[in-house]
């Protein structure tokens, strides 16, 4: 066993002792007011844990966590996740760090590539370096975008990836998230820091906004208003949509699964649906009079947009390491999203 292996093992054993000795864990969640982060925050608070969130509200929303404000175990900071002074105190006092802060949505990445890269890379360097300094385990949420245009289906965590050229902004997100992954794994190699990397696949559900191009809330909002549903490209590209509730349940398992340290793990659904079929299912479940309108990628995102035809995860590793499988059906996911948009008026 190398010195770095011993260091990592000692940090993992320390985390395990914390879990065994105390029923209450202290979590730090960057991006905690975002779509996924707010659900993860709520999950831990309901379990009786203590949670601090850091979010600059650039893509997150205070509305997502406002109902948690009176919980004495909830602490919120409206700040950049690259704020070293704030993060140093919070990381030092945490047992486990979830790093979710990031740019989101193809629309945002394509329209503001410089801001998007900065919002991904800079906070990660700050958070990971501080976790290394204080020996705090960290989980990074990465993305299925890192698999790029690979035609090797399903996507396995150890496979080679095929990305588009740097002249196409769309791939800036994938490259930046891959750099995040490399940085975490480099810290593990160099310092023995326990790191966990989770690649998420098309997570959807309540609190997700369509503002940044997210497909399901866009479709549901249009259907509820009996407006045309805009399908970009041919609509025959397929995706696998997973419920945010299933994903949060999976993310919450990693602190109790130290043998997953140093691993990259897919989380998502492995049930494919074409975007055209998704639109038709949304229309039916919303009892809508909407029609489907095809919009070219050039019209939606500008010239030279690149896309992949299929995005299907292999979930063998998630099943083996954390005993996790997605539970909710696509219909259930659509109905939960429909009810939330209809009840809150948010889109």
Kindly list the catalytic residues: 173
- Locate 89 and state its tokens: 């105190």
Cβ neighbours around 70 below 10 Å, total: 7
Inter-residue contact 271 to 204 (CB < 8 Å): no
Query: What's the chain look like in SS3?
Result: CCHHHHHHHHHHHHHHHHHHHCCCCEEEEECCCCHHHHHHHHHHHHCCCEEEEEECCCCCCHHHCHHHCCCCCEEEEECCCCCHHHHHHHHHCCCEEEECCCCCCHHHHHHCHHHHHHHHHHHHHHHHHHHHHHCCCEEEEEEHHHHECCCCCCECCCCCCECCCCCCCCHHHHHHHHHHHHHHHHHHHHHCCCEEEEEECCEECCCCCCCCCCHHHHHHHHHHCCCCEEEECCCCCEEECEEHHHHHHHHCCHHHCHHHCCCEEEECCCCEEEHHHHHHHHHHHCCCCCCEEEECHHHHHCCCCCCCCCCCECCHHHHHHHCCCCCCCHHHHHHHHHHHHHHHCCC
b or e along 280-317 (b: 16 or more beta carbons within 10 Å of the residue's beta carbon)?
Answer: bbbbebbebebebebeebeebbeeebbebeebbbbbeb
And the tokens for 66? Answer: 């406002």
């Amino acid at each position: 066993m190398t010195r770095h292996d011993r260091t990592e093992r000692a940090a993992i054993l320390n985390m395990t002792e914390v879990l065994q000795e105390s029923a209450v864990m202290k979590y730090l969640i960057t991006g905690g007011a975002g779509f996924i982060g707010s659900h993860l925050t709520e999950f831990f608070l309901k379990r009786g844990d203590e949670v601090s969130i850091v979010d600059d509200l650039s893509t997150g929303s205070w509305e997502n966590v406002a109902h948690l404000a009176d919980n004495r175990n909830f602490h919120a900071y409206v700040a950049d996740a690259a704020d070293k002074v704030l993060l140093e105190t919070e990381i030092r006092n945490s047992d486990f760090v979830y790093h979710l802060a990031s740019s989101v949505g193809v629309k945002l990445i394509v329209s503001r590539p410089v801001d998007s890269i900065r919002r991904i890379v800079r906070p990660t360097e700050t958070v990971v370096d501080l976790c290394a300094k204080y020996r705090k385990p960290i989980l990074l949420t990465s993305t299925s975008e890192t698999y790029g245009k690979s035609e090797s289906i399903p996507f396995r965590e150890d496979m080679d990836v095929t990305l588009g050229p740097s002249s196409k902004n769309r791939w800036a997100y994938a490259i930046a998230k891959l750099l995040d992954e490399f940085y975490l794994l480099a810290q593990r190699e160099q310092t023995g820091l326990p790191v966990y990397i989770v690649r998420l696949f098309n997570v959807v559900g309540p609190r997700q906004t369509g503002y940044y191009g997210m497909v399901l809330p866009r479709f549901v909002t249009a259907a509820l208003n009996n407006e045309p549903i805009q399908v970009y490209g041919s609509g025959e590209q397929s995706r696998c949509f997973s419920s945010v509730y299933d994903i949060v349940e999976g993310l919450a398992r990693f602190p109790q699964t130290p043998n997953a340290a140093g691993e990259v793990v897919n989380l998502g659904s492995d049930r494919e649906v074409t975007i055209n079929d998704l639109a038709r299912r949304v229309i039916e479940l919303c009892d809508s009079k909407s029609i489907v309108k095809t919009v070219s990628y050039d019209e939606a995102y500008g010239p030279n947009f690149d896309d992949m035809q299929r995005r299907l995860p292999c979930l063998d590793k998630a099943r083996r390491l954390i005993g996790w499988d997605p539970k909710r059906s696509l219909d259930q996911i659509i109905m939960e999203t429909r009810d939330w948009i209809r009840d809150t008026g948010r889109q």
